[in-house]
Amino acid sequence: MSGARERILAAVRQGLGREALPVASREALDARLRSTVEPDQHLRPRLAEGDIGYLFRARLQSVSATHEPLGSEAYVPAAVAAYLDSRHLEGPVAVAPCLRALDWRRAGLDPRFGQSHGEDVLCVSRAFCAIAETGTLVLLSGPDNPTTLNFLPDHHLVVLHAPDLVSHIEDAWTRIRAREGDWPRTVNLITGPSRTADVEQTIQLGAHGPRSLHVLMVDPGDR
Amino acid sequence: MTQARSHEFRTRAVQALRDETLKSALARAKDGFVLKRRQALDALPEYEALRDRAVAIKNHTLEYLDHYLERYEEAVIRQGGHVHWAENAEEACRIVVEICRQAGARSVTKGKSMVGEEVGVNDALEAAGMEVVETDLGEYIIQLANEPPSHIIAPAVHKTRGQISDLFHKHHARYGLTEKLVEVPDLVNEARQVLRQKYLDADVGITGANFLIAETGSNIIVTNEGNGDLTNTLPKVHIVTAGIEKVVPTLEDATTLLRLLPRSATGQQITSYTTLSTGPRRPGDPDGPEAYHVVLVDNGRSAMLRDEFREMLRCIRCGACMNHCPVYGAVGGHAYGWVYPGPMGSVLTPLTLGLREAKDLPNACTLNGRCADVCPVRIPLPDLLRSLRHRQFQHQLGTRRARWALRLWAWLAQRPGLYRRVTTLQVRTLRLLGGRRGRLRFLPLAGAWFRGGRVLPAPEGETFMRAWRRRGKNP
Amino acid sequence: MTTTSAPRRVALFVTCLVDLYRPTVGFAAVKLLEQAGCRVEVPETQTCCGQPAYNSGDNATSAELARSVIEAFESYDYTVAPSGSCAGMIRYYPRLFETEPDWQARARALAERTFELMSFLTDVCGMTTVEAGLAETVTYHDSCSGLRQLGVKEQPRQLLQGVRGLRLKEMADAEVCCGFGGTFCVKYPEISGRMVADKADAVAATGATTVLGGDLGCLLNIAGRLKAVGSPVKVRHAAEVLAGMTDRPGLGDPEPG
């Protein structure tokens, strides 16, 4: 196998008409890899004037996701209970361990904390951040926020804190890099519920992943 | 490698043209893709600048491909993943089968991977006794139909609802689903139900990659259904199959390309799911694969770096070229006979399978240029097709008759005096044959023109050059 | 119309299809160019631009033909063709001489001064209107080389607006290829036939009585289909209408009487 590696790299170099790069060139390329400053800031799509929160909510709507404002994270369990009630949903609920400290019992819920195995009707996870440009939620995998919660339930509810809303995709990368530890195993950029157009180009929600995506936007200033 | 039938292009194209069901499926798809892309790009004033930047990023990466591949590999290994290198399709299949065997796999789920189609990984896994389930709905449909994809982003675009209903009815009975469903939501739901169990049962999940990030060692997949995520999260082993040209330096570089890919493909600003996977599950992770493998596939790509075909390696597989190709729109993807149809396929197939096997593909094109116009990474597809024609000409792959006709014409065209006499005679004859009707219904040696369901308008009767000289207009 | 003292010396590249099929288009081009203040000449030795060879991968033959064209046309101020396709081919000439710098320089010099007729009239000569009338609803097919290689889109429409009584009604997919494609139409007649059938349907759907275009290849193809299905829609090169030379029957139509 290592033979194939060497042969492919040699073939690439032959195709490029040169030998392996000299150290100086490699260092220059590595500097480009490390410096993640965009060369062309102006290539970020210009967003509509005004509040990025407003833009984000408009984008969510355009991709068939729903949202509701919450004055505090403490209200999340009640909001989840109300969501279940209003849709007459019954069945197991799984919640990301990072939301374990909330008072779920008071909302009449007894969720499981941890990953999903596919039997849950609804899962709740927490977004690391969100992107106004595209209406995208950014979720990172880890013990506190299992990836399976994002894909196995019919209903996916995501807690987003208002200060975690950024304007462009690049801002999300910057935030992820700035946090402690390695690059996460999984970064999910989620924009609306699962969909398919594979049958006669007709858009149908809930192909394999969640049929609905609901964002709980925690904003203490939004009272 | 997936069995090629590109040499049958002519007969398959003619069959496709007679297929009325296909005609309506293609018309519906084409209108949708074209319109949605247009709307998405009209809302993006930065489009042309983004294209330029995308071209620069891809060109830069290709120029230093060896370096970025090495850096990517290091990053994957740093994160606990494994990188395998495959020079060709057979090697890629062997590697994938071996990983699956070592994992004791009986069932394998697959997210959509064009490289997987290219190397024919399904056949290899099935030959090794494993069950392979395509999970992208379109791929699943054509797997049931035992057909190759007819489009790179909408593999079952040629299938109608009725045909899908028949397929599901036939194949889902063994899961106890015996009711014949016909409505789109019901069909999607039934597939969801069947495939959900497959995801949970799978031992290995295989996905492709839209981008490989040298900076972080991540692979990025772009999907709408969520099938790719269930494929790379649930099984204990995740294998990524990717062409070596998929690597880009940083996430910022990938972001530029991500702004172009869904818009060019489906007219979406971004797809429902854009997922970065980096290595296997970490300590404490409750889910995610225990092992993460990447198979980097060359299969003819490194050779394309040598010449003008390097431009083809910029391709991000958005499908816009085929959505806007009038030939693809007429004959559909299957006529092309291999995994990549349309303009990009007409360049890639001859380069991968040889000029002879894919003899027709570079020629079955009017060089109208619409594909190059819509290509987000500005691949000059018509020029590349013309280059392939030049290579074919050098290898004398055209018909003898066409060569001689061309040679005779050129010989004549270089002798203006003789040319005038011959054309004058030609024009008079045609005029005579056309008579007062002003058109011809048949002409010996020119039967092909009429096979296109056309008459031949008759000429006015005198050449311009003769009339001009008669009027003594030149000073 | 022109402001310079010396009139532009324009060489007309007739194109082989106009030469053979539709001399009227050549005369219409001459008339329009003269109206625009040009002095028009028709180099005697011209035959073919070499495109069939170029598009068939026979670059050597194409280069041979290109040399003849360069020699015949390089002494004029401009070369103008009533065809986006042939003008486009001449613009490609520099590509044929990658290993011959002298010829490449000559090819480039010619390419830079070569134009499609209608865009030359508007973009170079500044023509804004024409002396012609046609009381009909017409539709316009954008030929691919003109449209995508040379950017010919608004110019013919702008000129057609100046034709008295003419109403332009756009067809669906006006920018989609008609299926001619030079040798394509005889190499893959069935595919070409489907494409031109779609085009003919789009033309018919507008209700126009005449379809116009800027390339005789496409027009022969479209006329071939329309006349095969008995359509009364007339097919003409736009130059005929702009020059007021619409006495002749449309392509593929019978002589009156």
For A12-42, the pLDDT digits (tens) are 999 999 999 999 999 999 999 988 776 777 7
User: What is the average pLDDT value for chain B, to the nearest integer?
Assistant: 95
Q: Which of residues 31-50 of C touch B (CB under 8 A)?
A: 41-42, 44-48, 50
Q: Does pLDDT of A105 surpass 90?
A: yes
Query: B458: which chain C residues are within 8 Å (Cβ-Cβ)?
Result: 252
* The two three-digit tokens of residue B225, written as one number: 């259904």
Residue A40 lies in a domain: no
* Backbone torsion region of residue C161, taken as left when φ is above 0, otherwise alpha when ψ lies between -120 and 50, otherwise beta: alpha
Query: A115: which chain B residues are within 8 Å (Cβ-Cβ)?
Result: 286-287
- In the complex, which subunits touch A with 3 or more CB pairs below 8 angstroms? B
Judge if A21 and A59 occupy the same domain. no
Q: Does pLDDT of C225 surpass 70?
A: yes
Return all residues near C38 (Cβ < 8 A) that are at least 6 apart. C2, C7, C8, C9, C10, C78, C125
Q: CA C117, CA C138: separation in Å to the nearest integer? A: 19
pLDDT confidence of residue C33: 98
Judge if A24 and A79 occupy the same domain. no
Q: CA B125, CA B120: separation in Å to the nearest integer? A: 9
Q: CA C74, CA C110: separation in Å to the nearest integer? A: 6
Are B412 and C185 in contact (CB < 8 Å)? no
Per residue in B343-372, pLDDT (tens digit) is 999 999 999 999 999 999 999 999 999 999
User: What is the average pLDDT value for chain C, to the nearest integer?
Assistant: 96
Judge if A151 and A98 occupy the same domain. yes
Instruction: Tell me what the mean pLDDT of segment C172-176 comes to.
Output: 96
> Looking at per-residue confidence, does C168 or B443 come out higher?
C168
Domain residues for the domain of A24 are: 1-35
Q: Does pLDDT of A72 surpass 60?
A: yes
pLDDT confidence of residue C2: 46
pLDDT confidence of residue B444: 80
* Backbone torsion region of residue C77, taken as left when φ is above 0, otherwise alpha when ψ lies between -120 and 50, otherwise beta: alpha
Report the DSSP pairing between strands A212-218 and A66-70.
parallel
Q: Does pLDDT of A2 surpass 80?
A: no
Instruction: Tell me what the mean pLDDT of segment B238-258 comes to.
Output: 97
Residue A223 lies in a domain: no
pLDDT confidence of residue C193: 97
Judge if A73 and A180 occupy the same domain. yes
- What are the structural domains, with CATH classification, of chain B? 64-256+274-293 (3.40.50.10420), 403-470 (no CATH)
DSSP string computed for A60-87? HHHTT-EEEEES-GGGHHHHHHHHHHHT
CATH 3.40.50.11810 maps onto chain C at: 128-242
Q: How confident is the model at residue B475 (pLDDT cuts 50, 70, 90)?
A: very low
Instruction: Tell me what the mean pLDDT of segment B324-347 comes to.
Output: 97
Instruction: Tell me what the mean pLDDT of segment A43-48 comes to.
Output: 90
Query: Are A96 and A112 spatial neighbours (Cβ–Cβ below 8 Å)?
Result: no
Domain C128-242 belongs in CATH node 3.40.50.300:
no
Q: How confident is the model at residue B5 (pLDDT cuts 50, 70, 90)?
A: very high
Query: Are A157 and A214 spatial neighbours (Cβ–Cβ below 8 Å)?
Result: yes
Residue C68 has its nearest CB partner, among B393, B414, B456, at B414
Which of C177, C203, C231, C251 is the best substitution to test chain B (most B C-beta atoms within 10 A)? Answer: C177
Judge if A31 and A54 occupy the same domain. no
Instruction: Tell me what the mean pLDDT of segment C158-177 comes to.
Output: 97
Q: Which of A44-58, B28-42, B461-475, C236-250 has the highest mean pLDDT?
A: C236-250
Residue A61 lies in a domain: yes
DSSP string computed for C212-234? EES-HHHHHHHHHHHHHTT---E
Burial of residue B236 (number of CB atoms within 10 Å: 0-12, 13-18, 19+): middle
Q: CA A154, CA A120: separation in Å to the nearest integer? A: 8
Which of B13-22, B28-37, C190-199 comes out lowest in average pLDDT? Answer: B28-37
Beta strands in chain C (DSSP E): 8-12, 38-41, 78-81, 114-116, 137-141, 167-168, 210-213, 234-237
Q: Which CATH number fits domain C8-123: 3.90.25, 3.40.50, 1.10.3470, 1.10.10?
A: 3.40.50
Residue C151 to chain B, least CA–CA distance (Å): 12
* Backbone torsion region of residue B338, taken as left when φ is above 0, otherwise alpha when ψ lies between -120 and 50, otherwise beta: beta
Per residue in B253-303, pLDDT (tens digit) is 999 999 999 999 999 999 999 999 999 999 999 999 999 999 999 999 999
Judge if A141 and A189 occupy the same domain. yes
Residue A66 lies in a domain: yes
Judge if A63 and A167 occupy the same domain. yes
Per residue in B201-217, pLDDT (tens digit) is 999 999 999 999 999 99
Judge if A65 and A11 occupy the same domain. no
Judge if A61 and A133 occupy the same domain. yes
pLDDT confidence of residue C150: 97
Are C19 and B463 in contact (CB < 8 Å)? yes
pLDDT confidence of residue C196: 98
Instruction: Tell me what the mean pLDDT of segment B311-322 comes to.
Output: 98
Are C224 and B393 in contact (CB < 8 Å)? no
Instruction: Tell me what the mean pLDDT of segment B308-326 comes to.
Output: 98
pLDDT confidence of residue C3: 52
Residue A99 lies in a domain: yes
Judge if A79 and A172 occupy the same domain. yes
Judge if A141 and A166 occupy the same domain. yes
Q: CA B242, CA A12: separation in Å to the nearest integer? A: 16
Which of C31, C91, C175, C190 is the best substitution to test chain B (most B C-beta atoms within 10 A)? Answer: C190
pLDDT confidence of residue B404: 87
Instruction: Tell me what the mean pLDDT of segment B43-64 comes to.
Output: 97
User: What is the average pLDDT value for chain A, to the nearest integer?
Assistant: 94
Q: How confident is the model at residue C5 (pLDDT cuts 50, 70, 90)?
A: low
pLDDT confidence of residue B406: 86
DSSP string computed for B413-447? HT-HHHHHHHHHHHHHHHHHHHGGGTEES--TT-H
Counting CB pairs under 8 A, whether chains C and A reach 3 or more, is no
Residue C69 to chain B, least CA–CA distance (Å): 10
Query: Are C191 and B331 spatial neighbours (Cβ–Cβ below 8 Å)?
Result: yes
> What CATH number does the domain containing A173 carry?
3.40.50.10420
Per residue in A145-178, pLDDT (tens digit) is 999 999 999 999 999 999 999 999 999 999 999 9
Query: Looking at chain C, which residue has its C-alpha nearest residue B374?
Result: C148
Judge if A18 and A81 occupy the same domain. no
Give chain A's domain count: 2
Which of A47, A138, A200 is the best substitution to test chain B (most B C-beta atoms within 10 A)? Answer: A200
Residue among B370, B389, B395 nearest B380 (CA): B370
Query: Are B237 and B206 spatial neighbours (Cβ–Cβ below 8 Å)?
Result: no
Per residue in B83-128, pLDDT (tens digit) is 999 999 999 999 999 999 999 999 999 999 999 999 999 999 999 9
